[in-house]
Chain A
Amino acid sequence: MHEQSHVIFGWNASILASILFVLVYALIISEKLNRAVLALLGAGLLIIAGVLTQEAAIRGVDFNTIGLLLSMMVIVNITGKSGVFQYVAIWSAKRVNARPMGVMVMLSVVTAVFSALLDNVTTVLLVVPVTILITEELKVRAYPFLIAEILSSNIGGTATLIGDPPNIMIGSAVGLTFNDFVFNLLPVVVVVEIATVVIFAFLWRKELVTTEEARERVMSFHEREAIKDVRLLKQALFVLALVIGGFVTARLIHLEPATIGLTGAALLLLLDNFSRDAEEQSKNVHSAFAEAEWVTLIFFVGLFILVHGLEASGVIKWMAGQLLTATGGDFNMTAIAILWSSAILSAFIDNIPFVATMIPMIKAMGPAFGGDQALMPLWWALSMGACLGGNGTLIGASANLVVAGLSERAGQPIRFISYMKSCFLLMLMSVAFCHVYMLLRYLH
C-alpha cells in the first residue's frame, strides 16, 4: 500500500523511508544511542513525515512476534525463581564428577537445550552465574566455559521457533510452526553443536585441569537445596509443557504461537498468585511483567514500523529485485548467498533488524521462484545464517554481550579481539556445515 500522496514537501516516499532506515541502522551500529530509542524515533518520524499513516504503521507491527517474546520472557522469569536452572547446572556438573572438561561439555549441552526451548539471553543469565561459581570452586578460568556457553546458546537457539528472535520473526511472518523448525533445523544444529563443543574442548584441553580437592568441593554441592520453591517449580514445568505442547500441535489446534504463549503466561501467573493476598499479588504480577525486556520489545515495534515503511514505499521489492539480479535468478545461488551473507553480517550487526529487512525481501522473491512454498529453503538459510552468525563476534548476539557483562563483573573480561580469534573460524565452520546440509537436503 503506498501512502506517497501525504509525504511532506512532496518528497519521494521511497527515498525518505530509505534515508530514515539507513540513518537509524547506522546509529544502531555505532552503539552511541540505545537501539530501542532510535527505532522508535525513526518510526515516529516516518509517520510524521507521512510515509506511513499511524494505522498503516500499526499494521506493520508483527504482534505475534511481540506477544510470543513477551510471553516467553514472563514464563521463563517466573520459572527461574524456582531455582530449577541452578539445579540442572549443578546436577549436570556432578554427573561428570566435576571434571572441568566434562563440566564444560555438560554446561554447553544444557545451555544449548535450554536455549532451544527458551530465550537465549534468559538462558545465559541463568546458567552463567552457576558456571562462574563452579569454575571458582574448581579454580579454573571461567573464560572457556563462558565462551562455550555463548556458542551453544546461539547454536541451540537455531533449532526451534522460540529459540532465537530471528526464528520467531521468520516463523511468524511465514506461518512456520515449531515442528517445521525442529524437522528442518534440528539435524544440522545437533551436528554443529557436537562439532563445536568437541573442537572447543580440544583447543582448551590444557586449561581444563583441576585438583581432586577442588572437584570434591563441587561434588559436595547439594543441588536439591537450589530448588527454592517446589510448588512454583511444578506449576512452571506444567505450564511450560503445555505451552511447548501447544507449539508442537499449533497447526492442528489452529492457534498462533503468541496466543499459546500469552495464555500460558497468564495461566502461570494465575497459578503462582492463586493463594496470595491482593497486595502480594499486585507486587508479584508487577515484578513478573517488569522483568520482561521491554527495551527489546519496544525495539521490535519501532523496527517493524521502519521496515514496513520500506515495504510500503516499494524499496523492499526493489532490493529483492537487485538481489535476484546479483544471483542471476539462480535459486541455489540465492539460497547460499542468503546463508553466508546473513552469517557474516549477523556477526557484526544486530541480526534482528537484518532479519526484519530480509523477510519482506525474500517474500518478494516468491513470484520469481514459483510461489511461497518454493521459498522454504531460503527461510532456513536465513535462519541458520542469522542465528549462527551471531557467534562470530562478541557483538553478534545479545546473549554474547550479556555473558561478557557478567564475565567482566566476575573479574574475567572477554575482549572483542580474543573472542573473535577463538570463535570466528568456528562460526564459519558451523555455516559451512549448514551449506553442506542445504546442498544435501534442499538444493539440487
Chain B
Amino acid sequence: MTVDSIMNRNPKTVPMTETFGGAFAILMDLRIDSLPVVDTNGIYRGMFDLEDIWELLLPRAAMLGLKSLTDLAFVSDAKEAMHQKLQDAGARPVSEFLDAQVQPVHADTPVKEAILLFYKHQGDLPVVDRASKRLLGTVSPWEILQALR
C-alpha cells in the first residue's frame, strides 16, 4: 500500500504571501494542525504548523537545541505578553515561519514509511511530485488509520 491510495488530494493550502494571522485563523477555524504552503506555481515550500506557533510563544531559551531549558515551571504565566506576541506576528508573511524540517513524501512512498514518520512525532505529511516538486496532497494519521480500520 502506498501513500497515493490514501492521501487527501484536495488539502487546504496557503500561498507564500499569506500572513501569519491569516494562516493562524485557518488553523483555528478548521481545527487542523498544519497547512502546506505553496508558491504561485503550486510548488511545495514548507508546512506552517502548530509547532511554528509554539516557537513564537516560547522563550528562546527553550529552543537552544540539546542545551535548552527543559523546564519552565518557574516562569510566571503572562497571558497578555503571549497574546501580544501573536498580535505582533499577525502581519508578517507566513514564509518567515515555515518549518523546513517537514520533509515531503511521494505518491509511491510506502505507508509504513509514513507511519514511521508519524511515530517520530512528525505532523501531517505533504505529498509532492518527485520531479516538479508540486504539491499533490497531504497524508494525516487519520487517513492511514481509516484505511486500515
Contact = CB atoms under 8 A, between A and B. Distances in A.
To the question of whether A and B form a pair in one complex, the answer is: yes
Interface of A: 83, 86, 90, 125, 128-130, 132-133, 136-137, 217, 220-226, 228, 406, 409-411
Contacts of A409: 60, 63-65
Interface stretch (B21-29, B74-82, B96-104): B74-82
A217 B68 CA distance: 20
B67 A133 contact: no
Binding site secondary structure of chain B: loop
Contacts of A128: 67
B67 A129 contact: yes
Nearest to A228: B71
A84 to B, nearest CB: 12
A444 B63 CA distance: 54
B74 A129 contact: no
Contacts of B69: 86, 129-130, 133
B70 to A, nearest CB: 9
Most chain B Cβ neighbours within 10 Å, of A129, A220, A228, A409: A129
B67 A136 contact: no
Contact of A217 (B62, B67, B73, B76): B76
B42 interface: no
B61 interface: yes
Contact of B78 (A217, A222, A410): A217
Contacts of B67: 125, 128-129, 406
B64 A133 contact: no
Interface of B: 59-65, 67-69, 71, 73-76, 78, 81
23 contacts: A86-B69, A86-B71, A86-B74, A125-B67, A128-B67, A129-B68, A132-B59, A132-B60, A133-B61, A133-B69, A133-B75, A217-B81, A221-B75, A222-B73, A224-B74, A225-B74, A226-B71, A226-B74, A409-B60, A409-B63, A410-B60, A410-B64, A411-B60
B117 to A, nearest CB: 25
B71 A220 contact: no
A132 B71 contact: no
Given A128-B67, A129-B61, 11 more contacts: A125-B67, A129-B68, A130-B61, A132-B59, A132-B61, A132-B64, A133-B75, A136-B60, A221-B75, A406-B64, A410-B61
A129 B64 contact: yes
Secondary structure class of chain A's binding surface, majority of residues: helix
A410 B67 CA distance: 11
Contacts of B63: 409-410
3 closest pairs, A vs B, by CB?
A133-B61, A225-B74, A220-B76
Nearest to A409: B64
A139 B71 CA distance: 21
Nearest to B75: A221
B54 to A, nearest CB: 16
Contacts of A86: 69, 71, 74
Nearest to B63: A409
A83 B76 contact: no
A411 B61 CA distance: 10
Contact of B59 (A83, A133, A220, A406): A133
A213 to B, nearest CB: 9
Contacts of B74: 86, 90, 221-226
A221 B59 contact: no
